[in-house]
Amino acid sequence: MLRRLHLTPDLSQRALAKELGISLGSINYCFRALVEKGWIKMQNFSQSRHKFRYAYLLTPAGISEKSKLTARFLNRKLEEYEVLREEIEKLKAEMSEAPRAMIEGTVLV
């Protein structure tokens, strides 16, 4: 959500809810919590024809938190990647031995 707001600060709560597949009420709850934590600020477009139109701007604290969350996400995905890579290598090794095992009459389980 923070990444999306950083990219598109004028995105409406309704559009974000639809994009993320969650209720508008849930989005509103999250927005209030982010404002309360000081991670985003809401800025009203006073010149807008749509008087309830807002921009959601990440504060310096919000940008910092977004960076921390991104780093944790990336580290978690890299760890998952390493586990998968090792599993794939093991499966490749098993598959390369499968024809030899069939010739020798042994069964791999």
Domain ranges of the chain: 2-76
Is domain 2-76 given the CATH code 1.10.10.60 in the classification? Answer: no
Whole-model pTM?
0.56
pLDDT at 6: 86
pLDDT at 91: 92
pLDDT at 12: 86
For residues 27 and 16, the answer to whether their CB atoms sit within 8 Å is yes
CA 53 to each of CA 13, 15, 18, 41, 68: distance values in angstroms, whole numbers, following the listed order: 10, 12, 17, 13, 29
For residues 12 and 55, the answer to whether their CB atoms sit within 8 Å is no
Distance, in Å, from the CA atom of 36 to the CA atom of 34, rounded to the nearest integer, reads 5
Mean pLDDT on 16-40: 91
